[in-house]
Structure 1
């Protein structure tokens, strides 16, 4: 007679409860694995673009531009002029791609703060100094804030989530799930401007200029909305964890796991002193920036004393880089992570090296967007789509929901936010602009779609990374296991975030400085 262990029984029960989720995740994984690397995906799209432009140009397809009322015809990318353009402008397309220089500048500063250990230390302090009753909200909110560290947020905070929950007597498995989901499904809701904000703003600007050549979308164009979103999402995670996840019977680690070997939240006295010094440095720099920007006659203000359109916001990427770089230097010098300020350029270079795959992808994206612009397909598709929606008298909220649903589905397979937005923005941004929707508003909708489904798709490399952290506590955990934990949180976050957007839009609250929602 054989008997099953309680752990095996729990795993069998889990498989019985979640067959659909497991099968669905398997289908998603196989479909996603069939897609080429995003670099090659954009060259394939460029070839498709060329074929489509040749067909439409041959058919004489054209529209009347709403900006200057001139006739705009589709141009054949495979024509002599098209091939000459593609060859002669390749370097300029890359050099002038809006997000590229900005992201490099921001990353140089963030890299110093991350590689000296300052960001990790701040996160440890953030999750270790809260009472047990507030640990879920603290980890969840820190997950939205952690995006200033870009992809390093996953590496730093996900294991810390498990440690923080264990420190207050709660399940470390639950801590890992909360930390991972708050980062993945709240990725574009950071209350602090992040490298992603600069990337998205650059892509949105390029798309918007298909309609209006004078449009510039800033990195803080969704800042007000992001602040509210981060607080809302942290609250939703807290409530869903309490009402749903905490009641699951399978939250105990495997009995043979040595929890003491996994780590702790301890910081040395030297590290704590360094954090205080770095935070005081940050506070001092913020006071200096405020003293320069706030006076009405400040040279960093724009025409008429405007801050929304000003040299300050134009240079916000450099300001962010300086703030992170300075605080990271102070922390590193105090802890010994930096032997001297001469080590700082090395950390900056390491940060840029880490961004090399993104910069390579940017080259392909820049070419695709340039081709798309030259063929005039963006103008034609935008005008045709806007006319169709206008004639059908589709209400704006329905259009928003359609866009959100489409992008959410695409995000399950194309998990790179910059890649997905580069594909979608040249059509969606101009189309909605012709329906009187500002580009910043379309970008806000994209943020929700780009984040919501990320926590449940195994196509994200960070999903697999989080699964690895989870397997420290449950060795036989699989894709379906992690997806079953994250699914309720991801759904609740997407629904409530969408409702917040509609409330924001209905009330007409600006999305950020100089960025009206309507």
Structure 2
């Protein structure tokens, strides 16, 4: 509904601007561009004739749907949960907290489902080791929520956000493509940093505050013995398949003159390998999921594979509704030239105030942190912000990959402090298994130290990163074209 309201606002503002004869000089061509009214005859024609095209050609749509075919299959056959359970089993006590943080971060492969898997498992492991289960629960939710966009591999979040960024960048530079790998160097490093910070917060702040846990004698909410047996053979076969698949891709890529390399330079930047990373990841998840499913007997016939994929795609229904309306709003914003107008004047304002570059991105991140407390959906918030801020910073010479990273830091860190988030209710339910008197105050007091520590350390990490001269992703320097 936010995008419905935004579309109405765009139509109204474009009509007023068009009536006043507003215009803007295109920074790329130097030509005077008029503002087009959505409520004019030309505008109404555009609205009804472009609606399907706007939806079908919206960059995140095919990328997310395709990748979810593979990740969804891995989730449906039980592979992702089995990997997470195995990762938390048999860990030495001194490394438990760090392991929970790392496993929680890796679990983002399962997208939002990670918040339902890792925290209760972490609470069970902490309880088994004589530690307070709420500390494990808090660490699990911090890793799956407040560190949501950090990871060691490309996930559906990278694909979704880069698609929205691509659409926004096209407002001032048509044809610009932002790869799902745009933040790839920064995010794995962030994952390690946040895992360490999360471990310190858990062991130095959360656990001392909670004290000793005294279980309720009438409470049988959790028991480590209730964990289902792990299918070691299925995991082994999935692991062998994963290694063989990655080895095959590496060999094909390493061959001189490989079709997966850049045909002009022979390197990997702007190569078919990176541009086709989504279908390559799709086949990785499909192959490992089939190996696991066949061995674990969650796949008993070939017909089970499309059936399980279809089941996972059903979970995208809400995403498809959002994308249809968001695609129209962004397309109207672009066609009317309001996006260009705001970007040009916004960039001029920042320049006149002497605010730009990394300082401007810090200010943008702070604004995002505030907005994320009232808008629960990360993709919805980025769809609202990207069409204005990505072009604005691009006109200052800032690479859109860095604008996207600044957004991810703010939106992710505040995830567990959003009152309207459905996961707040889920987290409270988990907490009340161990503390029946717990209320929202208990929940927020547990999560606030993680939010503050993650955001402060992550933002500082982001500021230092370009100063070190390290690209934020393959070929992604701070300034465009450098």
Q: TM-score, normalized by length of structure 2? A: 0.96
SS of 1:191's equivalent? coil
Task: Name the CA distance, whole Å, in 2 between partners of 1:261 and 1:369.
Answer: 47
Task: Name the CA distance, whole Å, in 2 between partners of 1:458 and 1:401.
Answer: 24
**1:21 — aligned with what?**
none
**2:105 — aligned with what?**
144
Q: Which of 430, 444, 450 is the matching residue for 1:489?
A: 450
**1:64 — aligned with what?**
25
Q: Which of 321, 325, 331 is the matching residue for 1:364?
A: 325
Shift of 1:341: 2.7
**1:319 — aligned with what?**
280
Task: Name the CA distance, whole Å, in 1 between partners of 2:46 and 2:214.
Answer: 60
In structure 2, do the counterparts of structure 1 residues 299 and 484 end up closer, same or farther at CA, with 3 Å as the change threshold? Answer: same
Instruction: Give 1:222-241 correspondences, 5 Å limit.
Output: 222-241=183-202
**1:18 — aligned with what?**
none
SS of 2:177's equivalent? coil
Shift of 1:508: 2.1
Shift of 1:465: 1.0
Q: Does 1:111 align with 2:72?
A: yes
Shift of 1:250: 5.4
**2:93 — aligned with what?**
132
Whether contact under 8 Å (2:119, 2:140) holds in the other structure is yes
Q: Which of 417, 420, 424 is the matching residue for 2:381?
A: 420
SS of 1:305's equivalent? coil
**2:434 — aligned with what?**
473
**2:118 — aligned with what?**
157
**2:367 — aligned with what?**
406
SS of 1:341's equivalent? coil
**1:508 — aligned with what?**
469
In structure 2, do the counterparts of structure 1 residues 221 and 471 end up closer, same or farther at CA, with 3 Å as the change threshold? Answer: same
* Cα deviation 1:258-313 (Å, max 9, x = unaligned): 347545474536x1111111011101100001111123411011231131201111
**1:289 — aligned with what?**
249
Shift of 1:61: 1.8
Task: Name the CA distance, whole Å, in 2 between partners of 1:186 and 1:45.
Answer: 29
Whether contact under 8 Å (2:132, 2:211) holds in the other structure is no
Shift of 1:168: 2.0
The runs of 5 or more residues in structure 1 that have no matched partner are 1-39
Stretch moving more, 90-99 or 209-218: 209-218
Shift of 1:73: 1.8
Whether contact under 8 Å (1:237, 1:493) holds in the other structure is yes
SS of 1:72's equivalent? strand
**1:168 — aligned with what?**
129
SS of 1:514's equivalent? coil
Whether contact under 8 Å (2:22, 2:35) holds in the other structure is yes
**1:4 — aligned with what?**
none
Whether contact under 8 Å (1:174, 1:251) holds in the other structure is no
* Cα deviation 1:35-62 (Å, max 9, x = unaligned): xxxxx21011100111111111222221
Whether contact under 8 Å (1:46, 1:371) holds in the other structure is yes
Task: Name the CA distance, whole Å, in 2 between partners of 1:47 and 1:405.
Answer: 27
Task: Name the CA distance, whole Å, in 2 between partners of 1:78 and 1:426.
Answer: 21
Task: Name the CA distance, whole Å, in 2 between partners of 1:119 and 1:488.
Answer: 29
Q: Does 1:244 align with 2:205?
A: yes
Whether contact under 8 Å (1:72, 1:380) holds in the other structure is no
In structure 2, do the counterparts of structure 1 residues 82 and 328 end up closer, same or farther at CA, with 3 Å as the change threshold? Answer: same
In structure 2, do the counterparts of structure 1 residues 90 and 310 end up closer, same or farther at CA, with 3 Å as the change threshold? Answer: same
Shift of 1:95: 0.6
**2:238 — aligned with what?**
278
* Cα deviation 1:93-125 (Å, max 9, x = unaligned): 111011111111100101111111111111011
Task: Name the CA distance, whole Å, in 2 between partners of 1:478 and 1:515.
Answer: 45
**1:373 — aligned with what?**
334
SS of 2:45's equivalent? helix
Whether contact under 8 Å (2:131, 2:213) holds in the other structure is no
Shift of 1:130: 1.6
Stretch moving more, 470-479 or 86-95: 470-479
Q: TM-score, normalized by length of structure 1? A: 0.90
Task: Name the CA distance, whole Å, in 2 between partners of 1:253 and 1:450.
Answer: 36
Task: Name the CA distance, whole Å, in 2 between partners of 1:188 and 1:114.
Answer: 19
Shift of 1:514: 2.1
Aligned residues: 478
Q: Which of 397, 400, 405 is the matching residue for 1:444?
A: 405
Shift of 1:507: 1.5
Task: Name the CA distance, whole Å, in 1 between partners of 2:457 and 2:316.
Answer: 33
**1:456 — aligned with what?**
417
The runs of 5 or more residues in structure 2 that have no matched partner are none
